[in-house]
Structure 1
């Protein structure tokens, strides 16, 4: 079993995926424990000195100027967790909560939060015993970080709150800890604040989304190439020399993918020298690399933002090695919120252009001799008519979701926190956009496969053959109408899984 080692220099995106979605365990390196112990000793000295320091001997937010007596500082930390665990709504998925907890361990491990090592160890125990806190979907404004979601995680460490059960049910945290052989912990000065102040929830969702988007943007090239092949489109707009003269790296990569995917096709050979063939294909075909490539470049930018955040100290206040404790604004999620909004816009457009190709495939006046709605017996049968309706509805939803959350700040905490990032909302809706993109590419995959089947006896490209085989028994052959929803779900599964890409790459080599 893979073990993710948390060091004082942080973790990798692959580590987050392994813990969030896999069965990886988590371990703290000895150097990590030492870094946290050193940081904690500074907090202990400050507390003993009796001077007011935010988060150690004062209240929080608008109560930052309220001095808290030494005998009540542990109570202060526990009260903070209980009051901030104020979320409402459906629980966040297990993978999001596990990513968030691992990233909070990472944050503490950087040695700038002033907590005892046992606090990080308690979070590691939750991960390694598969105890997942119940974290409601609403509550975070993205500054001061993901306060409410992280508080729901921290509350479980105290033996309070709720845990997500195996069937999605809500379980009492104390019972869940007992069954796992774990015990609640008590918090000392600064530790409650260190458990909840930071960007871990939005960063976790963004890292998961980056991984999903990278796969989907490659699959968008695949489905675009299959649709172009089925519509007797031209491969010439994807020649490398035409993209070298506009050197956006994502565009070049996408064009190279599509060009390779269209090779060795009897379908393409059938019309390459046909004088009646269209001189120029429609934009949704010819400009596929320009749209998908721009999305790839946006993804590269967002990946850079996330990589920087993975090595960032996002707590407040921070404990510096020279003994100072300084307030910061590093918990503000603007970089992540902007990145999530940019990526949502890009992903929405990748889906939108895919839907336009589906519409062309189904339209007998534009599909170059394919039957109406890809039904051999249109009239009695409707073929994929309503699949395109579904795709159009999803495109409309993605357009609404592409509206940026990060411009929608609302002041809180008595105007102390008067500008917030909305990064939690931005990353949460990005995940929905990507899930919708999966469905849109599934509809295009299904339509393209039907189109290629209807071109028989002409043999499609290796990619086309792999796609027809991947849908297998679910797709069958074109014929009378069938219950379409299961077929669309099967196509979704093919798009989401790595198998079709792997099958294509076994024939053509790695796709960019």
Structure 2
């Protein structure tokens, strides 16, 4: 793979060691901690229980029990019975033939999350893998060198066998026992891991968006009527967003100084838009929780027999990722619209286009054009159509990984829009717009990464600086999830 871009991000453990005593202990919080650099230690009693199930699975195979992908070929070749000699090396061969991906690769935190989720599923009784394999997976998270590159796109399989074949290259090279190859390739561990990371990223951006929107509301000097907490009634999610917004805004502007009785829609709908984002993140987290607990092996070792399952079909994860992307793209579009409103002196009472010298200087109109382009680039998207593969054996796909990637790109676009909105608020502040006291420390942090002055300059550099500030957790840690 010479010349291909290597995965980026932290390459080794940087956090604490988490002891796992039951499969359930490797929950969403633990997976996210592993992504951030934590190590895992598997309790001896847990490994002993895994070993007992492994012994039962091996005994069943020795008695001649048929098992898809263990005693047979895969896909359209599932009816081909393997000889004892062929079965011996089958787990390793499964990886080599399916490693057909290439760059772009997952970032290392994403790969670490994948290892953690895969380990969670292998610790379930129905996996039938060895305690040694589970210990080797845990050991991967403690080594200082990078995990193997895993492609983030190009998965046209019914499950995730293509990227997973890359993920376990090192394990396969060191040898795998019967059923361990198919167990490593089964289920939706990557979509599950990415769902957990994307949901957290979505919540952080939603929290940051409250501050950006509060800044825009303050600059526009619009009435605070749409942000009254009682408008939420029994909607706890909306109530949480409005309460956060209210804390940032402080007192409403003097009615005698208002320029307009009613604000443009983009400024009025902050609460419902961000509440929808929080709900979408919750749905994604819930789908990931179901996947963590579900039976994902196929075949699964249940009641001392190997049975086929549909646990590889990640429609739950795909649908919730698509729903989150819809909410995120809408939030980005609304944010870009707010920036456009801030360029209008009829809305803000500030110089046209937030220019330090309207006419000779353009101000932020070019910035708004950039934000419109960002939104347009992620606005398309429908339901992916299934296509037959494996000679018709796989005649439908969920495309959960592709939906996760589209969500990741949409989140990146929203972060750019938020950076643009904060840049517009900063520029308005330089031009004399007042901002609430509660917002000033956060906006001071934005100002600290920007050059001084309000004159025209290449604003792409400004956007990049604020985007990096957001990605580093500006204004974080986020408050508890609204309505949770």
Return the TM-score normalized by structure 1.
0.86
Does the 8 Å contact 1:404/1:426 carry over to 2? no
Alpha-carbon distance in 2 for matches of 1:235, 1:10: 45
Question: How far does residue 10 in structure 1 lie from its aligned partner after superposition?
Answer: 4.8
Alpha-carbon distance in 1 for matches of 2:25, 2:392: 34
C-alpha offsets along residues 41-92 of structure 1, whole Å, 9 cap, x if unaligned? 1221122112422233111111111111112212222211111112133222
Residues 284, 465 of structure 1: alpha-carbon distance in 2 compared, 3 angstrom cutoff = same
For residue 122 of structure 1, give the secondary structure of its aligned residue in structure 2: helix
Residues 232-241 or 447-456, more deviating: 447-456
Alpha-carbon distance in 1 for matches of 2:192, 2:409: 16
Does the 8 Å contact 1:18/1:24 carry over to 2? yes
Counterpart position of 1:376: 356
Alpha-carbon distance in 2 for matches of 1:510, 1:205: 20
Counterpart position of 1:305: 287
1:451 has 2:451 as partner? no
Residues 85, 10 of structure 1: alpha-carbon distance in 2 compared, 3 angstrom cutoff = farther
Question: How far does residue 120 in structure 1 lie from its aligned partner after superposition?
Answer: 1.7
Question: How far does residue 452 in structure 1 lie from its aligned partner after superposition?
Answer: 2.8
1:189 has 2:178 as partner? yes
Residues 463, 498 of structure 1: alpha-carbon distance in 2 compared, 3 angstrom cutoff = farther
Counterpart position of 1:439: 416
Alpha-carbon distance in 2 for matches of 1:83, 1:236: 62
Counterpart position of 2:155: 140
1:110 has 2:91 as partner? no
Counterpart position of 2:467: 492
1:74 has 2:88 as partner? yes
Counterpart position of 2:327: 346
Aligned-residue RMSD, C-alpha: 2.0
Residues 31, 462 of structure 1: alpha-carbon distance in 2 compared, 3 angstrom cutoff = farther
Question: How far does residue 476 in structure 1 lie from its aligned partner after superposition?
Answer: 4.9
Return the TM-score normalized by structure 2.
0.91
For residue 27 of structure 1, give the secondary structure of its aligned residue in structure 2: strand
Counterpart position of 1:226: 215
Counterpart position of 2:256: 273
For residue 4 of structure 1, give the secondary structure of its aligned residue in structure 2: strand
For residue 325 of structure 1, give the secondary structure of its aligned residue in structure 2: strand
Question: How far does residue 108 in structure 1 lie from its aligned partner after superposition?
Answer: 0.6
Does the 8 Å contact 1:454/1:478 carry over to 2? no
Residues 239, 51 of structure 1: alpha-carbon distance in 2 compared, 3 angstrom cutoff = closer
Structure 1: runs of 5+ lacking an equivalent: 160-183
Counterpart position of 1:355: 336
For residue 66 of structure 1, give the secondary structure of its aligned residue in structure 2: coil
Structure 2: runs of 5+ lacking an equivalent: 1-14
For residue 14 of structure 1, give the secondary structure of its aligned residue in structure 2: helix
Counterpart position of 2:272: 290
Does the 8 Å contact 2:343/2:353 carry over to 1? yes
1:395 has 2:375 as partner? yes
How do residues 457-468 of structure 1 correspond to structure 2 at under 5 angstroms? Answer: 458=434, 460-468=435-443
C-alpha offsets along residues 113-147 of structure 1, whole Å, 9 cap, x if unaligned? 1111111222222221044111123342362x211
1:13 has 2:2 as partner? no
Counterpart position of 1:212: 201
Question: How far does residue 468 in structure 1 lie from its aligned partner after superposition?
Answer: 2.8
Counterpart position of 1:32: 46
Does the 8 Å contact 1:205/1:431 carry over to 2? no
Question: How far does residue 510 in structure 1 lie from its aligned partner after superposition?
Answer: 8.1
Alpha-carbon distance in 2 for matches of 1:141, 1:273: 61
For residue 315 of structure 2, the aligned residue among 331, 334, 337 is 334
Question: How far does residue 283 in structure 1 lie from its aligned partner after superposition?
Answer: 0.7
Alpha-carbon distance in 1 for matches of 2:336, 2:74: 49
Alpha-carbon distance in 2 for matches of 1:362, 1:510: 34
Question: How far does residue 272 in structure 1 lie from its aligned partner after superposition?
Answer: 2.8
Structure 1 stretches of 4+ moved >6 Å: none
Residues 127-136 or 388-397, more deviating: 127-136
Q: Number of residue pairs matched? A: 466
